[in-house]
Amino acid sequence: MKKKDELPACPVATTVQLIGSKWKLLIIRNLLVKPWRFNELQKDLEGISHKVLTDSLRSMESDGIINRTVYPEVPPRVEYSLSHLGESMRPILDAMENWGNGYKKTYKNEK
């Protein structure tokens, strides 16, 4: 988790720093529905590389946004889910979904 003095002074910039990448937002979108395994996420997020998914998941885990659960099975099973902090982003993504739907409805016939 980042220390307070490592974060931007602006709260919007802090949010963008933590979840502002395209892939992080889409990962969070998926995790709002259910826990996912790595390969499931990679298959669902068309175009994401193994490295970018790994780096994004590690970063969000380090920042306290997601939980990584390893089940003691053979072979090992790992699932990613939202932490309490990550779940608190639901209203942000809901607002983005509403805005996107409104934009598509308003501007889809203008081109």
Domain boundaries, the chain: 4-107
Residue written as token pair 């802090």: 14
CB contact set of 96 (below 8 Å; sequence gap of 6+): 25
Chain CA centroid to CA 39, Å: 15
3-state secondary structure of 28: helix
Q: Which two tokens stand for residue 84?
A: 């309490």
pLDDT at 34: 97
Fold of 4-107: Arc Repressor Mutant, subunit A (1.10.10)
**81-98 pLDDT tens trace:** 999 999 999 999 999 999
- Whole-model pTM: value is 0.85
Nearest Cα to 29, choosing from 49, 13, 44, 48? 44
